[in-house]
Amino acid sequence: MPQCPDQSRLVAHVSQTLEPIFAQFLALQSRQRHNLGQAIAAGDAQTAHRLAHSLKGATATYELPAAAAIAREIETAVLQNDMPLAASHLKTLAAYFDTLAVVFIAAPALPPE
């Protein structure tokens, strides 16, 4: 993932069509990550799997493929009943969002029919 010159922020380029709802998405993902952490800590594999799967889909939909890949790792760890690994991946995902800087870009034009 590209980084800013100061190397302290991860930069994601996201379609400007998502800009009006992106702050709500980030707030929801924060709550989802919190709930996922609680489910992992409690050993609740069913809830943890559902939340990890939801995170994976949402982050992919909101054009954050690196976050979706980490969420997939969480989901896989939960399916393997490896809650310590899932918790470790969740920390990685939290760090991703903590350092994320989003740049909204014009959506590419559709090819002519």
Assigned domain for 2 exists: no
Assigned domain for 88 exists: yes
Assigned domain for 109 exists: no
Cα distance between residue 56 and residue 80, in whole Å: 17
Continuous H helices in 1-113 = 19-42, 45-61, 65-79, 83-98
Assigned domain for 67 exists: yes
CATH code of the domain covering residue 84: 1.20.120.160
pLDDT band at 3 (very low <50, low <70, confident <90, very high): very low
Domain count, the chain: 1
Assigned domain for 60 exists: yes
DSSP 3-state of 94: helix
Domain that holds residue 80: 20-98
Give me the pLDDT at residue 2, please.
Answer: 40
Q: What is the pTM of this model?
A: 0.87
Assigned domain for 62 exists: yes
Report pLDDT digits (tens) over 58-102. 999 999 999 999 999 999 999 999 999 999 999 999 999 999 999
Cα distance between residue 32 and residue 49, in whole Å: 12
